Amino acid sequence: MDGHTPIITASKSGNTTTISVDGSPVATILDGTDGQNGTNGQDGTNGTNGSDGITPIVNVASITGGHTVEFSYGSGDSRNSSFNVMDGNASSLS
């Protein structure tokens, strides 16, 4: 048995839009008049400024069977870290 693809149409007459499927009306939408815009609300208070961020230096080095990814924030910084990504595997820094 072959499938059936319905023909969906929309027609407008005045303030009425009619949606039909295969020529039979299935929905009627009545347009109303546009309402007025509401008034703007009050502005919120400004937040406090945060500290300046630091972008680490990222280095990728080849190792046998993969790569080492290093993040350096500066000499001796406790956030400095690295991890190995072996070929064919996914790794993440936690």
In a domain, 72, yes or no: yes
In a domain, 82, yes or no: yes
Domain that holds residue 81: 57-86
In a domain, 74, yes or no: yes
Kindly report, residue by residue over 63-91, the tens digit of the pLDDT.
Answer: 999 999 999 998 889 989 998 998 888 77
In a domain, 66, yes or no: yes
Segment 34-59 shows an average pLDDT of 88
In a domain, 70, yes or no: yes
pLDDT the model gives residue 60: 93
Q: Are residues 47 and 64 in contact, defined by beta-carbon separation less than 8 angstroms?
A: no
In a domain, 23, yes or no: no
Report the domain count for the chain.
1
In a domain, 76, yes or no: yes
At a CB cut-off of 8 Å and minimum separation 6, what does 16 contact? 28, 29, 30, 31
Given a cut of 60, whether residue 1 has pLDDT beyond it is no
pLDDT the model gives residue 94: 64
In a domain, 39, yes or no: no
Segment 15-41 shows an average pLDDT of 88
Segment 14-23 shows an average pLDDT of 90
Q: Which of 57, 84, 56 is nearest to 68 (CA)?
A: 84
